[in-house]
Amino acid sequence: MNFGYPIPIFRSFDEKKAKEFYIEFLEFKLDWEHRFEAGLPLYMQISKGGCVIHVTEHHGDSSPGSSIRVEIDELDAFHQHLYNKQYEYSRPEIKEQPWGRDMSIADPFGNKVIFSQLS
């Protein structure tokens, strides 16, 4: 019996803001999006390397304020890349932790993606 990697589900309230944050700022790729019909809430999958996240506007799929930790091997380079974008809503910082180094970034809906370079 094999288990796959978990896929976190983040709650979103605004498609435009979600895509601006995840696709434009963090540069995740939009893998697919689904609506049961036009005008209904969006459910989409985004990915970057081996990191896969589902983002949903559906009530009950997830609660805002969730956090995930994503391992990254070149935290300094990613931090500098994001900083150079001068994104209006986020200026992430790297913090030293007992287990390594973290860069925590909150999305517009209160969810956090913590990029970690472990010791």
Task: Express each pLDDT in 68-100 by its tens digit.
Answer: 999 999 999 999 999 999 999 899 999 999 999
Average pLDDT value for residue range 111-115: 97
Amino acid type, 80: Q
Span 107-114, mean pLDDT? 96
Mode of pairing for the β-strands spanning 67-71 and 29-34 = unpaired
Model confidence at 119: pLDDT above 90? no
* Domain edges within the chain: 9-118
Mean pLDDT of the region 49-71:
94
Model pLDDT, residue 36:
94
Q: What is the mean pLDDT of residues 34-58?
A: 96
Which residues have a Cβ under 8 Å from the Cβ of 92 and sit 6 or more positions away? 79, 82, 83, 103, 104, 105
In angstroms, the CA 32 to CA 43 distance is 9
Q: Which long-range contacts (CB under 8 A, 24 or more apart) does 43-47 make?
A: 44/18, 45/7, 46/22
Q: What is residue 41's predicted lDDT score, i.e. its pLDDT?
A: 95
Residue 110 above 80 pLDDT? yes
CATH superfamily of 9-118: 2,3-Dihydroxybiphenyl 1,2-Dioxygenase, domain 1 (3.10.180.10)
Selection from 55, 115, 45, 112 nearest residue 80 by Cα: 115
Kindly report whether the global pTM for this prediction surpasses the value 0.85: yes
